[in-house]
Structure 1
Amino acid sequence: MEPQMLEKIISTLANKNDEIQNFSDTLSHTLKGVQANSSNVIAELDEEFDGLYSILDEMKESMTNSIKQEQAHKSQELQNQLSQCSNALENSEELLEFAARSLDIKDPEEFSKVENHIKSKTQLLVFSATLIFIW
Structure 2
Amino acid sequence: MMDTQKEALCRIISTLANKNEELQTFLETVDNTLTGLQEESCKVMSELEAELEQLSSALEEKGAALCDVIKEEKQRKEAELQKQILEGKSALLSCEELLEFANQTLTITNEEEFLKAAKQIKE
TM-score range, shorter chain: 0.7 to 0.9
2:64 is aligned with 1:61? yes
2:83 is aligned with 1:80? yes
The equivalences for 1:20-39 within 5 A come to 20-39=23-42
For residues 107-126 of structure 1, what are the alpha-carbon distances to aligned partners after superposition, in whole Å with 9 as ceiling and x for unaligned?
Answer: 11221221122112xxxxxx
What root-mean-square deviation, in Å, do the aligned CA atoms of Structure 1 and Structure 2 show? 1.5
After TM superposition, the score normalised by the length of structure 1 is 0.81
- Which of 14, 19, 23 is the equivalent residue of 1:16? 19
CA distance in 1, matches of 2:62, 2:31: 46
CA distance in 1, matches of 2:90, 2:48: 62
1 or 2 for the larger relative contact order (CA 8 Å, sep ≥6)? 1
Aligned residue pair count:
120
Could you tell me which runs of 5 or more consecutive residues in structure 1 were left unpaired when the two chains were aligned: 121-135
Residue of structure 1 in register with 2:46 after alignment: 43
Residue of structure 1 in register with 2:107 after alignment: 104
The equivalences for 1:116-127 within 5 A come to 116-120=119-123
CA distance in 2, matches of 1:86, 1:20: 96
CA distance in 1, matches of 2:23, 2:89: 95
CA distance in 2, matches of 1:5, 1:36: 46
For 1:64, the aligned partner's letter is C
Which structure: larger Rg? 2
Could you tell me which runs of 5 or more consecutive residues in structure 2 were left unpaired when the two chains were aligned: none
CA distance in 1, matches of 2:35, 2:97: 91
After TM superposition, the score normalised by the length of structure 2 is 0.88
